[in-house]
């Protein structure tokens, strides 16, 4: 049961990323070659689409999801364990279905009127429109001859492999710089397929119990990072964790899960999932999707919560001339490069 709770909590974290920090995934604009422009025209003209999406991370088993898209900004992600996530980007509502338990959790965004709606995974592909792209030539991809393009992106590296005859993607890859070796791979694309509207309904099927939760999307990603750091330090007896990345997330999450179960044995699964999704995971996602140019560093190993002059982590926001630095008392300050180097010389872990 606890394993299913953790999996569902991860799904809730995806919701947070979807409604809170997804705008980081927007790509740069610019003119593109005619071939790539034709590919993007075919993608953007599709009313519906289906594809598979696999997350790959060293030392972790890969997970493949089936994704269904229906314009505008609706998606359905079907997980291997049977759970389903239905997202509506316009209304900022997400429905998680757990068939094994006949339970449903709907997440409604608080403050959505003040925050621009984000796109579902397929709509984020549309941000490649207008991006400059490098021609990678032709090679065999998944047993088929494909033409490759490398669009310029603000976040990570993207590669699009396309069937030159149909101009339909064969495979799209995305690699994020702050989680070493992590890759997202999309395959098996089909456009303008018949999809029933009911697949994207935000009402749970008959026989399901429904829990409605609210997520405050007005919190900044930085505030979410600070909150996640505090939770980790509290769970470790007042000391920050030795690492702060997606590979360590599972380890610390299991420890926190046991502590929460011991402290609140009557807490329901829905309450647990709400807490994970709103308070714990968003900080990790904030770090995961930082572009490499942010120069993220973590130096919290051995630092005690409350050490006001000891840096825990730092990064350079896009377009900024200074770094944002989180200290041991969880205050956040701006420092220029020279002052930061003097303060943190030899302190941070290798990236």
Q: What is the DSSP letter of 118?
A: P
At residue 136 the predicted structure's pLDDT band, cuts being 50, 70 and 90, is very high
The three-class DSSP label of residue 24 is helix
**Token digits for 37?**
């422009």
In terms of Cα–Cα distance, which of 163, 110, 60, 162 is closest to 278? 110
Predicted pLDDT of residue 324: 96
DSSP string, 251-290: HHHHHHHHHHHHH-TT--HHHHHHHIIIIIHHHHHHHHT-
Residue carrying the six token digits 């647990």: 272
Q: What is the pLDDT of residues 29-83, one digit of tens each?
A: 333 334 788 888 888 889 999 999 998 877 678 889 999 999 888 999 999 989 9
Structure tokens at 196: 């029933």
% residues pLDDT > 90 (the chain)? 42
**Could you name the CATH architecture of 2-200?**
Clam (2.50)
Indicate the SS3 state at residue 297: strand
Q: How far is residue 288 from each of residues 45, 109, 161, 225, 334, measured CA to CA in Å?
A: 31, 22, 24, 11, 21
> Distance between CA 102 and CA 228 in Å, rounded?
30
The reported pLDDT for the residue numbered 260 is: 81
- Residue-wise pLDDT for 157-206, tens only, equals 789 999 988 889 999 998 754 455 678 899 999 999 999 999 999 999 99
Give the residue with greater pLDDT, 209 vs 131. 209
Q: Cα–Cα distance between 100 and 224 in angstroms, integer?
A: 31
Are 344 and 326 within 8 A, CB to CB?
Answer: no
* H/E element, 223: helix 221-235
pLDDT of residue 214 exceeding 80: no
**Separation between Cα atoms, residue 330 and residue 32, nearest integer Å:** 44
Check: CB of residue 93 under 8 Å from CB of residue 217.
no
- Taking the C-alpha atoms of residue 324 and residue 312, their distance in angstroms, rounded to an integer, is 11
Beta bridge partners of 212: 106
Residues 21 and 189: their CA atoms lie apart, in Å, by 26
pLDDT digits over 72-124, tens only? 889 999 999 899 999 888 788 889 999 998 999 888 877 655 444 444 567 66
Cα(191)–Cα(12) distance, integer angstroms: 28
Written as six digits, the tokens of 314 are 């730092």
Q: How many residues does the chain have?
A: 351
147 has pLDDT over 70: yes
Question: CATH 2.50.20.10 occupies which residues in the chain?
Answer: 2-200
pLDDT tens digits, 220-270: 889 989 999 999 999 999 999 999 987 787 788 888 888 888 887 776 665
273 pLDDT exceeds 70? no
Give the residue with greater pLDDT, 3 vs 305: 305
Number of H helices and number of E strands within the chain?
A: 8, 16
**For the whole model, what pTM was predicted?**
0.64
Average pLDDT for the chain: 80
Q: How confident is the model at residue 26 (pLDDT cuts 50, 70, 90)?
A: very low
């Amino acid at each position: 049961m606890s394993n299913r709770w953790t999996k569902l909590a991860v799904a809730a974290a995806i919701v947070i990323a979807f409604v809170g920090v997804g705008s980081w995934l927007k790509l740069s604009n610019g003119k593109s070659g005619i071939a790539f422009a034709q590919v993007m025209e075919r993608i953007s003209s599709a009313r519906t689409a289906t594809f598979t999406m696999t997350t790959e991370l060293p030392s972790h088993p890969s997970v493949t999801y089936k994704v269904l898209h229906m314009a505008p900004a609706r998606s359905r992600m079907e997980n291997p364990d049977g759970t389903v996530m239905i997202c509506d980007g316009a209304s900022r509502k997400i429905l998680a279905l757990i068939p094994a338990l006949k339970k449903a959790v709907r997440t409604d965004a608080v403050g959505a009127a003040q925050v621009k709606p984000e796109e579902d995974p397929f709509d984020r592909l549309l941000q490649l429109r207008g991006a400059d792209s490098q021609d990678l030539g032709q090679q065999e991809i998944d047993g088929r001859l494909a033409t490759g393009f490398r669009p310029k992106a603000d976040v990570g590296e993207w590669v699009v492999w396309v069937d030159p005859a149909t101009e339909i993607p064969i495979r799209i890859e995305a690699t994020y710089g702050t989680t070493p070796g992590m890759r997202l791979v999309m395959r098996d694309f089909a456009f303008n397929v018949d999809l029933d509207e009911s697949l994207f309904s935000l009402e749970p099927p008959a026989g399901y119990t429904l829990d409605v939760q609210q997520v405050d999307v007005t919190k900044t990603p930085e505030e979410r990072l600070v909150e996640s750091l505090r939770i980790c330090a509290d769970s470790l007896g007042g000391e920050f964790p030795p690492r702060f990345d997606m590979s360590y997330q599972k380890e610390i999450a299991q420890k926190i899960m046991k502590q929460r179960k011991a402290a609140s044995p009557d807490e329901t699964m829905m309450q647990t999932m709400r807490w994970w999704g709103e308070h714990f995971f968003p900080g990790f996602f904030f770090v995961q999707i930082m572009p490499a140019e942010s120069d993220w560093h973590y130096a919290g190993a051995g630092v005690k919560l409350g050490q006001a002059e000891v840096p825990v982590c730092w990064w350079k926001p896009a377009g900024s001339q200074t770094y944002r630095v989180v200290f041991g008392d969880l205050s956040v300050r701006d420092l220029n490069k020279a002052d930061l180097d003097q303060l943190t010389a030899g302190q941070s872990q290798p990236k």
